[in-house]
Structure 1
Amino acid sequence: MGGDKIRKDKRQKREDYRAAIRKEGVSELPRKKFYRQRAHANPFSDHQLIYPPHPDQMDWSSLYPDYVVDEPQEQPTPAPETPSDLDLAPLRPKRISQEVEVADIGCGFGGLLVALGPLMPGTLVLGLEIRVQVTQFVEDRIKALRVQNQDAQLYRNVGVLRANTMKFLPNFFRKAQLAKVFICFPDPHFKARKHKQRIVSTTLNSEYAYVLRSGGVVYTITDVPDLHEWVVQHFEAHPSFERVSEEEQEADPLVNVMRTETEEGKKVERNKGQKYVALFRRLEDPAW
């Protein structure tokens, strides 16, 4: 009984903290210890996620409120006497002035996101994360950074979304919408029977090819040699991608950001581990 009470008190403390940190105008950066979450989530489980049936029905206004376009209000039409399919159609989402062009798949605690924001001020950057508490942490982190940098108007172009990219990536992005996709330190799933859960595969690479524009780049990094070889093998075998040369890779300033700014990257650095980087360019589709 005593142990149950202690756990309940700790859970209540975490909930109270998260409620306080999410109040309007709070500039305190969130602390991870109040966002307890398992390290892994099964992408094949039903996580009760909300996703749009089509990218055109995605409402981005809550993630990027500074980019919302003011449109004249349409005059309401009289309701028909009999219901129709039109009555059941979803409301048109608010339009934003530009589209998301950079996606960080499995963004974790948002280290790369908040580093890319100021470096790419004219680009909308989105983090995708499947774990509930981790997503809430990143939401609160972005909110606090926006308050802290209100005068400079920083981090307005950064957002995070809870999503399962293995299932629903094309629900959020149109064909050829993205310019860059980051896959940083993904779960290696060491056991052979779990390789189907890896975020890089023949099928998923086709989805990355679908959402990436011609010339777009997939950035990958891991500290697991076996996973690095798996990633290289599957992207090089895909007809829509070619590997970026090491010379061009090292000249890309975002590669160093990817190496140093993610939480996993910092952990590998502290442990003096090795980081394996590979970039892959989206090829132009051949003429049919």
Structure 2
Amino acid sequence: MVGPPTKRQKRDEVPEGRLPQKKFFRQRAHANPFSDHNLTYPESPAAMDWAELYPAYAVTEEKENKDLSAQGKSVGKISKQVEVADIGCGFGGLLFALAPKMPDTLLVGMEIRSAVTEYVQTKAKALRSQHSETQGYQNVACLRANTMKFLPNFFNRAQLSKIFLCFPDPHFKARKHKARIVSTTLNSEYAYVLRPGGIVYTITDVEDLHNWMVEHLDAHPSFERVSEAEQEADECVAVMREETEEGKKVTRNKGNKYVALFKRLEDPAWP
């Protein structure tokens, strides 16, 4: 007796160009960042195949290996660098809202959950198909990654202009605080991949987590908090408040949203 179709079968049945339905891509809300998730990741940023994610920006470049070079195989290079990373992007609401506002900037979502990553990738392909005449949404992509372990494997020093940390897992228990996405160690990695003048955007509906993120980013010598006036003038803040799935949920529940932005400072001169 054949049972009802599985979520995987229903996902595979989505016609090309049709937007996917979230209900077929649902997964547990949280994933343990310390577990081995059987991820693949580049050994260095130079080994990252960005062309697969941004085919409209792909450029052909021959590999150094003579045998492969003779075959004219691509090394996966693109004509411009990724500049914006949404860490823990969820279902990609922020990415898809920012993409038309930043048409000349490449944005990438980084998500640890496999089904959720697949949803964002499927939606990106569908939106590209629907906007093929205008080349819309070619600048947005998503990859599965554990940024707490492998962020520097994807990005060069000072490559990014914006990092978004939207409604991260609060990890309420004290023994779980080591898994929070903002920490002394991780802030140094954000400082490494973020260019001077770049911004780390944080938002949460948990006041304790907000205070934690502010305290740890304030304490880092590479970051300075952005003034409230400058924060409210940033169009990305309004998008961040309202376009993520969690942001919409907090709005429906009439909850509070705590926002803080931090600017990457210039490195001090060597003595």
- Normalising by the smaller structure, the TM-score range is over 0.9
- Residue 110 of structure 2 is aligned to residue 128 of structure 1: yes
CA distance in 2, matches of 1:72, 1:181: 32
- Equivalent residue number for residue 247 of structure 2: 265
Task: Say if 1:73 and 1:92 are closer, same or farther in 2 by CA, change over 3 A.
Answer: closer
Q: Does the alignment pair 1:16 with 2:9? A: yes
* 1:30 equivalent in structure 2: 20
TM-score by length of 2: 0.94
The alignment status of 1:69 with 2:59, answered yes or no, reads yes
- Is 1:237 equivalent to 2:227 in the alignment? no
- TM-score when normalising by structure 1: 0.89
Q: Is the 8 A contact 1:57 1:92 kept in 2?
A: no
Q: Distance in 2 between matches of 1:244 and 1:122?
A: 25
1:74 CA displacement: 8.0
- Aligned residue in 1 for 2:166: 184
Separation in structure 2 between the aligned mates of residue 189 and residue 36 of structure 1, nearest angstrom: 21
Q: Report the equivalent of 1:208.
A: 190
CA distance in 2, matches of 1:266, 1:160: 21
Q: Which amino acid in structure 2 is aligned with residue 212 of structure 1?
A: L
Other-structure match for 2:120: 138
Instruction: Give the greater-gyration-radius structure (CA).
Output: 1
**8 Å Cα contact 2:52/2:76 also seen in 1:** no
Q: Which residue is equivalent to 2:41?
A: 51
- Structure 2, unaligned runs of 5 or more: none
Match of 1:82 in 2: none
Rounded to whole Å, the distance in 1 between the matches of 2:180 and 2:76 is 35
Q: Using a 3 Å threshold, how does the CA distance of structure 1 residues 16 and 238 change in structure 2: closer, same or farther?
A: same
1:116 aligns with 2:98: yes
Alpha-carbon distance between aligned partners in 2 of 1:29 and 1:221, rounded to the nearest angstrom: 27
Q: Find the aligned partners of 2:65 and 2:114 in 1 and give their Cα distance.
A: 39
Q: Which residue number corresponds to residue 144 of structure 2?
A: 162
State the aligned residue count. 266
Runs of 4 or more off by more than 6 Å in structure 1? 72-75
User: Cα RMSD between the aligned structures?
Assistant: 1.8
Query: Of residues 277, 280, 284 in structure 1, which corresponds to 2:259?
Result: 277
Identify the match of residue 231 of structure 2 among 230, 246, 249.
249
Percent identity over the alignment is 67
C-alpha distance in structure 2 between counterparts of 1:48 and 1:258, whole Å: 30
Native 8 Å contact 1:222 1:277 kept in 2:
yes
Distance 1:187 1:72, change over 3 A: closer
| CA–CA distance in structure 2, aligned partners of residues 255 and 108 of structure 1 | 17
Paired residue secondary structure (2:117): helix
Deviation at 1:36, TM superposition (A): 2.9
The separation in 1 between residues aligned to 2:133 and 2:86, in whole angstroms, is 26
SS at 1:119's partner residue?
coil
Mapped to 1, the partners of 2:167 and 2:8 lie a distance apart of 29
Cα deviation for residue 77 of structure 1 reads 4.7
